[in-house]
Structure 1
Amino acid sequence: MRHLHKGVSFAIGLTLLGASLAACGGGGSTSSDGQLELTIGTFTNFGYDNLITEYERLHPNIKITHHKTGEGGPYHQNLITKLAANSGLEDVVAVEEGHFSDIIDKSGKFNDLNEIGPKDVTASRWLPWKYDAGKDKDGRLIGYGTDIGPLAMCYRKDLLAAAGLPSDPEGVKSLFATWDSYFSTGQTYVDKTRKPWFDASSQLYNSMINQLDTGYLDRNDKLTIETNPGIKAAWDRITTAIGQGQSAKLVAFGNEWKTGFQQGAFATTVCPSWMLGVIKEDAGADNAGKWAVTAAFPNGGGNWGGSYLTVPKQSKHPNQAAELAAWLTAPEQQLEAFAAAGNFPSQVQALSSPDLLSKTDPYFGDAKVGQLYAEQSRKVAKAQYKGPGDGQIQENVTSPALQAVEQGAPAAQAWQQVVDGAKKIVK
């Protein structure tokens, strides 16, 4: 699943949450005909419909009820509400990686999957950084990894060519090798075209922060925003680029941003695997072949998106729930989910599958997108620890502050807004 911090406020009305809580039942039981009943909760599209039917066929003694929610924001706030109430959660609960930090201090309310899950499910199933990010700071495995969003760069071939820059996917790799080369090329592009280089500053800034060894919080859940030099360095770099005219000053996932894809309002965009579908939808058929994707990302690699399947201690059947979660996150099933919904798998065996590696996309010039993103997924060095409130700082503090800079606010003033806002979230 894609990362869900899109500028939508994290705060959801409690009245709405209460109604949602009442409408959605919790853990499983046993039916009148003797079947074990399990429930699973997900959001958007995990590609699980056919897989759940298949699991029931393989396990005729089990009946599964799948609760699906369209939007991830209300889903995750509802999850926090149910945790606090200690009731109402499903046997298997999906958690998006951007919200995983909000349950990490509540990890005692979840089962350790290394204890209750199938013993043949080991760390070797997953990319190391994906597996590690599913653990709490005490080393308990809280979530089985589902999909990921490895980062590449997407760009308009025609716009780069018109500016006299390389435009083929191999030729542009050096442009996107480091943040220095990326912003230097951006300045060249702006000087030659008087047009923006990238779409939205928050997209780049969040990627830069996620590449740091330590993010907004350390492993003791202490705020690092004033002591971590990498955070301020990234801020200075991105706000300098804004001042140079490199940003199109758009709000990611807003209507003007979507229109920008159609009109060529910017030349480059951060491109996790799921972004290919967004570009195709927003840019439209008329721009097929103009957009390209390359196996490069500044300073190596990164990830934006993906989820985990957890088993809350509310479940009445934790062992059976863990078996279901383990089966859904096995390489074979993740390849099925990839085929059904485009969710890029995090399992080592799946990443070497011919079905994945042969996947191409004609919209992007028949790019071998399966092979490309498999390669990018292995460039992620390690999982950055995400403490409670990390996602809220990104969504509700840094992104609005960067938008303020794009609209003319002094960078120093906006930075103080970031510091003050982060301190309110992490007290």
Structure 2
Amino acid sequence: MLIAGAAAALPWRARARARTTLTVAAFPLVDAIVKAALPAWQQRHPDVAVQVVSRPYADHHTAMTTALSTSVYLPDVMTLEASYVGRYAQGRGLADLAQPPFDGLRLRPRFVPYAFEQAINRRNELLALPTDIGPGTLMYRTDLFAQAGLGEADLTPSWEAYVDAGIRLKAATGAYLVSNAQTVKDIVIRSGLKPGEGLYFDSESRVLVNSPRFVRAFELARKVRQHKLDARVAAWSNDWAEAFRRGTLATDLTGAWMVGQMANWVAPGTSGRWRVAQLPENTFVSYGGSYYALPRQAKPENRALAWELVQLLTLNRELQFAAFKSQDAFPALLETFDDPFFEQPLPFLGGQRARTLWRDAARRITATQVHKQANFADEVVGTELDNVLDRGKPIAAALADAARLLERRAFR
């Protein structure tokens, strides 16, 4: 009887072991969004488990880069921050979602245009689907600017006006305009880009650094430093957060998601003193965002289920709103944009209905081409700006040196 009983149990155990499990690799806070969506997934597929493997942001992307290059420990679904989609664009590690059986290009009308287009590489391959975006915004302290006799209209006409307002602000209140002069350079070099245009390289990998766009960015950043308008603190550092809490840092050039970060942990005590505006000169840019991709060499037997899970996470209006409300994950799904939730006032912003502002920005952001050497270019240009700010190097010489170095790497 014991033997018979054991034999009868074997088929059940075999079935338990054979249960399909999908692996999703994610970083915070996307990992929480995926986990929150699992009850909806289990209703569809009670026999398909989902394991979420979460790592800190940098560790996650390092692990994904290694997995794609070695085809070892590949998840079924990979979450990527927006810039990494571009970095992987010329490789062959991600499945082309434009091809059958995915036919992902049919989904184009359902997403914010720039977010969808940035996932398409030069080979017209669709490498991922967007889930959340980060429309750029200007956060500013109304109380500090009021002390200086300034308002939003003094900040937004141009980047020069923004810096000039900072000079008046510093004289009246002692507060810094921005955390670091590099921040001004980072946003100004993104101003005025045409759809599909690259930041550092054009479509033929020609270097764009020696151009009026970069000269202007360097000149404005130098003016910020010369007038001591930057606190010279690194974003996300303790000093950076403390400057917001104490009211010694009056603006932030950031993504819409930053309002939630400020309200929840960076500087909750400053609630009601902040407002947001479109970036100066009506500059419409993206500050990050998240995507879901399928590794090309992941388990083929799980591919159909993995694609179904990606569609659930990106196309389900209810789940998109749940992520928006719980994690400030601004949705990439256009079907959400008509919801009254966008009209609700935000207490941290003194009741401002800021989501309508960000919704307008999201519709007007243009897709930019991300080059495989963009990370390297960031470092090179940032180092040359440091040479200008800290060592007095002439701007023309700094940009010429940056261009020469980038030209050596452009086609690698």
Q: TM-score, normalised by structure 2?
A: 0.85
1:188 aligns with 2:174: no
The aligned counterpart of 1:152 is 137
Q: Deviations over 1:257-308 (max 9, x none)?
A: 1111112222211131111133235553432222222345433311101021
Which is richer in helix?
Answer: 2
Q: Deviations over 1:13-66 (max 9, x none)?
A: xxxxxxxxxxxxxxxxx9746543221111111122120232122222422111
Q: Is the 8 A contact 1:178 1:300 kept in 2?
A: no
The aligned counterpart of 2:276 is 293
1:375 aligns with 2:355: no
The aligned counterpart of 1:252 is 235
Give the 5 Å matches for 1:315-326.
Answer: 315=298, 316=300, 317-326=302-311
Deviating more after overlay: 397-406 vs 207-216: 397-406
RMSD: 2.6
Q: Deviations over 1:127-148 (max 9, x none)?
A: 1111100111111111101111
Q: Which amino acid aligns with 1:257?
A: W
The aligned counterpart of 1:42 is 26
Deviating more after overlay: 301-310 vs 244-253: 244-253
Give the 5 Å matches for 1:137-216.
Answer: 137-166=122-151, 172-173=152-153, 175-193=155-173, 195-211=175-191, 212-213=193-194, 214-216=198-200
Q: CA deviation at 1:424?
A: 6.4
The aligned counterpart of 1:64 is 50
Partners in 1 of 2:174 and 2:116 — Cα distance? 44
Q: Which has the larger radius of gyration?
A: 2
Structure 1 stretches lacking a partner, 5+ long: 1-29, 167-171
Partners in 2 of 1:66 and 1:301 — Cα distance? 34
The aligned counterpart of 1:86 is 71
Give the 5 Å matches for 1:253-402.
Answer: 253-281=236-264, 283-315=266-298, 316=300, 317-332=302-317, 333-355=319-341, 357-380=342-365, 382-394=366-378, 396-402=379-385
Q: Is the 8 A contact 1:209 1:231 kept in 2?
A: yes
Q: Which amino acid aligns with 1:252?
A: A
Q: Which amino acid aligns with 1:223?
A: V
Deviating more after overlay: 73-82 vs 125-134: 73-82
The aligned counterpart of 2:97 is 113
Task: Kindly tell me the number of residue pairs found equivalent between the two proteins.
Answer: 387
| SS, match of residue 258 in structure 1 | helix
| SS, match of residue 161 in structure 2 | helix
Q: CA deviation at 1:359?
A: 3.8
Structure 2 stretches lacking a partner, 5+ long: 1-13
Q: Is the 8 A contact 1:177 1:296 kept in 2?
A: no
| SS, match of residue 364 in structure 2 | coil
1:224 aligns with 2:204: no
Q: Is the 8 A contact 1:393 1:425 kept in 2?
A: no
Deviating more after overlay: 238-247 vs 84-93: 238-247
Q: CA deviation at 1:384?
A: 0.7
Rate the CA distance shift 1:260–1:415 in 2: closer, same or farther, 3 A.
Answer: farther
Q: Is the 8 A contact 1:92 1:309 kept in 2?
A: yes
Q: Deviations over 1:218-242 (max 9, x none)?
A: 223343323x432233222222332
Q: CA deviation at 1:197?
A: 1.9
| SS, match of residue 238 in structure 1 | helix
The aligned counterpart of 1:129 is 114
Q: Is the 8 A contact 1:31 1:37 kept in 2?
A: no
Q: CA deviation at 1:122?
A: 1.3
Partners in 2 of 1:237 and 1:57 — Cα distance? 55
Partners in 2 of 1:193 and 1:64 — Cα distance? 53
